Structure 1
Amino acid sequence: MIGLTLGVAVLITVLSVMNGFDRELKNRVLGMIPQATVSSTQILTNWPELAKQIEGHEHVQGVAPFTQLQGMLTAQGQVAGIMVSGIEPEYEKKVSIIQNHMVEGSIDSLKKGEFGIVLGKQMTDAMGVGLNDNITLVLPEATPSPAGVVPRFKRFKVVGIFSIGAEVDSMMGYIALNDASTLLRLPDGAQGVRMKLDDIFLAPQVSQEIVRDLPGNFYASDWTYTHGNLFSAIQMEKAMVSLLLFLIVLVAAFNIVSSLVMVVTDKKSDIAILRTLGASPATITKIFMVQGTVIGVIGTCAGAILGIIAATSISGFIGWLNNTLGLNMFDAYFINYLPSYLRWQDVLVIVGLSLALSFVATIYPALRAAKIQPAEALRYE
């Protein structure tokens, strides 16, 4: 029974953690990066008209312009690489969750010509800067000068800090769309538009449909190119871990078989006495099936309770452990904490399968007990 209890508890807990990773990837990471984009080989000076046209698609919930550039940030003697997106705050709120995760300042502070920048908390902590501090963005482009060829750089003011709790906190920054064009010495406009969809799994299909219907030279991209492998890996790990843990539950169910077989062997004389008193083979079968089922029900219910408690508290416990010991167990992952999302349908499936296995495990010992012959069993008593 202990094996069944632990098997069910661990299965519920691990599945909840895998569900948590799956949900956080969808909600946090895919809430920040573009779910789908439509870009052009030329700067889109008419992007508002393009955005209005794309918003007419049935699966598109929001559209926002963007211009992306890569560079390096320097401040307080620290240097870090960064991916910077030029955005229009009014439109960005329709496609991104950034506004909901601002801890200081606001993306509305990004205004044309003021050269403000919004950074993640991990980045500002690493660079030793805070709100209203200055930071320098260095672009990988050379500018001729009397002193020779020097990199292009621009000083920005930190006008906002966000914290998603994911890898984007240390690698992404936001500036005004027109400031991005100025840095790249391009006309005012956008490199492309990003979309928020009602179903992220339709991103490849929707983006291709939109490009096909647009006049001009456009090309599409979507989140499956950047984070598709990560999502597939999580799904595969979830399936494999579930299979392995289910095998643990299966082994625990077979332990019920061995336990009941030992009981049948030990109670042979008692079974024989019951038979001589008039108990039918069917009655003996029912007795042992009920006994085994009760063991399965108690073990499964205890495991379910333990699993639910563990699944709902493991995030807080691991967070406390990290803070107490000064560890960062999830530094190599796309989020910096352990998520857990308990799905009741998973609990019901696990409990149902465990009870079914427990019931099936009682059949062989019960039938074996029913076949005991009273005369044979009592011969040496």
Structure 2
Amino acid sequence: MSLAWQLASRFRRAKQTNGYISFISFSSTLGIGLGCFVLIVLLSIMNGFERELLNRILAVIPHGELYSVNSEGIRDWKSEIALLEQDDRVESIEPYTRITGMLQHKGNLRAVELTGLDMSRASHDRWLNQVSAEDWQQFKADEDSVLIGQGLMDKLELEAGDRISVLIPTATEDLSFKAPHLMHLTVAGRLKVGGEMDNYLAMMHLATASTESGVTTGAQGLRFMLKDPYSAYETMRDIGYNFDQPVYISYWMRTQGHLYNDIQLVRVVVMIALTLVIAVACFNIVSTLVMSVREKQGAIAILRTMGAPDSLIRRTFMMQGMINGVIGIVCGTVAAVVIAPNLSAIVATIESWTGITLLSGDIYFIDFLPSELQWTDVILTVVVAFTLCLLATWYPARRAVNVDPAQALNR
């Protein structure tokens, strides 16, 4: 054990005789530990939201879309899909036709966005969390069936097997008024995505959707699932600009990007705010060491007269301050590592005890508090906290080195 460490430990134990210094020292340790704990936990929550966004929303909505400029649809879309699927950036492609209309049931009207899918390409494995196996089989068996968002079904009091009508606006070349087209469908079951999408989203068969909307080629556009959803902007621009016919380009950041941007914004704000909390706690280390240096001037003077170099004095007081910081960092980090992976279960238990729902599925795209601990966040938090603690000890350690032995011993 080094001499500097022995002196730092002895000085730290000796200062317990001063109650005020002890209180400041404890508050600095508590503040650093609490800051590390909250920062890791909140970053884990943001990771959880990002994971759920990727697994829930982006499992349902396409990462990118190309849809025809004209009303005829995508020409020879089967050959186009076979060609584009050879792109290493693309995971899968499926044709679709989208219809926007008004869903009518028992005199009630609600806006609905119907997406027609090719059932020969669609798999229930992709929709496991959104559609039950029974509803999927019923939907697959009947070409005139439809899966409707849970929120929309609840608002219209729909049940599986009900007949509904959809009013589809009819576009004319001269922009003159024309009566909407009426389409009749049978409700096959519920579609549960989460959040606002449940209030307007619905799925139907591609052939029926194309026929009802007048798409003669069989598909209005192509839906892309990419291996890297976050590269959707660059990938879709590259594919769209080289497409054989004029198409509109869309990607998920245009429609659902606000969710991802909100998560990233909160992550940055949390990181900055709690780093400042840790920095404020480190100021208490400065206060503790400054008072400790003033109290130990006699001991410093004796060490100087015995030939102790400046580096020994500096390391002693830096280690004394770092002890408080390291204790806080270790305690806060260990607590966060234990709690963060189990936070969802803990919050669910508290909700069941109190009857209070923290996240409402009608507002958010999930109805529970997600959490995913990533060790990069833990390491980043520990490094930032350790660095701030180390910087906080520098100034008091310099003051200790500048103590004049003659003046200190004459007091």
**TM-score, length of structure 1 as denominator length:** 0.85
The 3-state SS of whatever aligns with 1:158 is strand
The 8 Å contact of residues 105 and 165 in structure 2, kept in 1 or not, is answered as no
Can you list the C-alpha shifts for 1:137-161, whole angstroms capped at 9, x where unaligned? Answer: 422437xxxxxx9754444333243
Match of 2:123 among 93, 117, 139: 93
AA matched with 2:90: V
Mapped partners of 1:362, 1:186: distance in 2: 72
- State the shift of 1:43 in Å: 2.7
Mapping for residues 78-117 of structure 1, pairs under 5 Å: 79-93=109-123, 97-111=126-140, 114-117=143-146
The 8 Å contact of residues 103 and 167 in structure 2, kept in 1 or not, is answered as no
Mapping for residues 358-369 of structure 1, pairs under 5 Å: 358-369=389-400
Show the counterpart of 2:65. Answer: 37
Distance 1:283 1:328, change over 3 A: closer
The 8 Å contact of residues 165 and 337 in structure 1, kept in 2 or not, is answered as no
- State the shift of 1:64 in Å: 0.5
> Which stretch has the larger CA shift, 371-380 or 298-307?
371-380
Q: How many residues align?
A: 373
Show the counterpart of 1:59. Answer: 89
Mapping for residues 102-251 of structure 1, pairs under 5 Å: 102-111=131-140, 114-130=143-159, 132-141=160-169, 152-187=181-216, 189-251=218-280
Q: Which segments of 5 or more consecutive residues in structure 1 lack a partner in the other structure? A: 143-148
Match of 2:403 among 358, 369, 372: 372
Mapped partners of 1:322, 1:171: distance in 2: 29
AA matched with 1:190: A
Show the counterpart of 1:145. Answer: none
Can you list the C-alpha shifts for 1:337-368, whole angstroms capped at 9, x where unaligned? Answer: 33222211111011012112212222221222
AA matched with 2:94: A
The 8 Å contact of residues 121 and 161 in structure 1, kept in 2 or not, is answered as yes
Distance 1:254 1:9, change over 3 A: same
Can you list the C-alpha shifts for 1:259-289, whole angstroms capped at 9, x where unaligned? Answer: 1111112222333344455544433322212
The 8 Å contact of residues 20 and 339 in structure 1, kept in 2 or not, is answered as yes
Show the counterpart of 1:340. Answer: 371
Show the counterpart of 1:303. Answer: 332
Mapped partners of 1:318, 1:178: distance in 2: 45
Show the counterpart of 1:146. Answer: none
The 3-state SS of whatever aligns with 2:65 is strand
Corresponding position: 1:71 with 2:90? no
The 8 Å contact of residues 72 and 139 in structure 1, kept in 2 or not, is answered as yes
Mapped partners of 1:230, 1:66: distance in 2: 24
Mapped partners of 2:50, 2:273: distance in 1: 19
> Which stretch has the larger CA shift, 119-128 or 223-232?
119-128
Distance 1:48 1:115, change over 3 A: same
Distance 1:137 1:313, change over 3 A: farther
Show the counterpart of 1:283. Answer: 312
AA matched with 2:111: G
The 3-state SS of whatever aligns with 2:88 is coil
Q: Which segments of 5 or more consecutive residues in structure 2 lack a partner in the other structure? A: 1-28, 171-177
AA matched with 2:404: Q
Mapped partners of 2:263, 2:395: distance in 1: 39
Show the counterpart of 1:254. Answer: 283
AA matched with 1:299: G
> Which stretch has the larger CA shift, 329-338 or 47-56?
329-338
Distance 1:359 1:174, change over 3 A: same
AA matched with 2:387: A
The 8 Å contact of residues 99 and 168 in structure 2, kept in 1 or not, is answered as no
- State the shift of 1:191 in Å: 0.7
The 3-state SS of whatever aligns with 1:37 is strand
Mapped partners of 1:257, 1:294: distance in 2: 13
AA matched with 2:410: R
AA matched with 1:141: P
AA matched with 1:192: G
The 8 Å contact of residues 104 and 167 in structure 2, kept in 1 or not, is answered as no
- State the shift of 1:235 in Å: 2.3
Distance 1:112 1:215, change over 3 A: farther
AA matched with 1:368: R
